[in-house]
Structure 1
Amino acid sequence: MGIDFSERERFSEAVDAYQEAVRAGNAMSAFSLREGFKGPEPTEKLTYLGLQRDSEQVSRYKKLPTFSKTTNR
């Protein structure tokens, strides 16, 4: 769902959808948010989410897939 919103340039809704998916344990959504928080240019259609660069968020979302793999056993 996040991909659909971002393709339509509805970035706030895309971020919300990705966050919901991360809460459900979706590692690809964590990856998408991590890339979005790296602050890509709007021309980077695959990773741009209208977010400001935030290295702390990048670090947090980088840890999430590892954390979810160790806790969902």
Structure 2
Amino acid sequence: MQHIVESYKILCENNQILEEFDRHVFESIIEKVIIGGIDKDGNKDPYMITFIYKTGLEHEIKDAKKLWSRSKE
């Protein structure tokens, strides 16, 4: 597992893009993913995605449906 994390670190440092999803890399970095949430106005947002990293940091993607729709155009 350490080898996979080191390989990922090298990719990030060189700004290289992973060509395909790597489950082992994902699971070594992400603690959990929360689908759905509450927006700043108190409304339910079923398209909100929150990534909780093992470092404790969080990354929230609001209205992921809109981002997904744009990527399909």
Same fold, TM-score > 0.5, yes or no: no
Where is the helix percentage greater, Structure 1 or Structure 2? 1
TM-score for both structures, normalised by structure 2? 0.32
TM-score for both structures, normalised by structure 1? 0.32
Larger radius of gyration: 2
Where is the strand percentage greater, Structure 1 or Structure 2? 2
